[in-house]
Amino acid sequence: GAVVSQHPSRVICKSGTSVKIECRSLDFQATTMFWYRQFPKQSLMLMATSNEGSKATYEQGVEKDKFLINHASLTLSTLTVTSAHPEDSSFYICSATPSGRTDTQYFGPGTRLTVL
């Protein structure tokens, strides 16, 4: 089956530092990847849509300069949280849509970010 991995699974950083999270589709190519954020006991909120070779599309209220997304290849998208603050602490989940398909998203295992 289609597998999506995320790295790291957990990260703890100091306030003001930047953190990069990787999302990889292991056995399929993904033209489109999505980044979600999930706060404790809340649902997933879509942050941005990442398209290979083009700029990401951000949802309303998500700061594009704070959450940098790069989708440089058909199997890798990265989310960089710049100048992280404690309120950025959350569970970040990515998903990937196989190229040529639009109605299926395969989800990664998530990355727990804690900003001290």
Partner 1 sequence: KQEVTQIPAALSVPEGENLVLNCSFTDSAIYNLQWFRQDPGKGLTSLLLIQSSQREQTSGRLNASLDKSSGRSTLYIAASQPGDSATYLCAVGPDTDKLIFGTGTRLQVFP
Residue 4 or 81: the one with the smaller Cβ distance to partner 1 is 4
45 counts as binding partner 1 under rule CB under 8 A? yes
Task: Please select the residue that binds partner 1; options are 18, 26, 27, 109, rule is CB under 8 A.
Answer: 109
Task: Please count the CA atoms within 13 angstroms of the CA of 116 that sit on its side-chain side.
Answer: 4
Dihedral of CA atoms 71, 47, 6, 3 in degrees, nearest 10, equals: -80
Task: Please select the residue that binds partner 1; options are 50, 75, 78, 105, rule is CB under 8 A.
Answer: 105
- DSSP for 69-106 reads EEEEETTEEEEEE-S--GGG-EEEEEEEEETT-SS--E
Residue 76 or 107: the one with the smaller Cβ distance to partner 1 is 107
Task: Please select the residue that binds partner 1; options are 13, 46, 62, 76, rule is CB under 8 A.
Answer: 46
Contact residues toward partner 1 (CB under 8 A) are 4, 6, 32, 34, 36, 42-46, 49, 91, 93, 95, 97, 102-110, 112
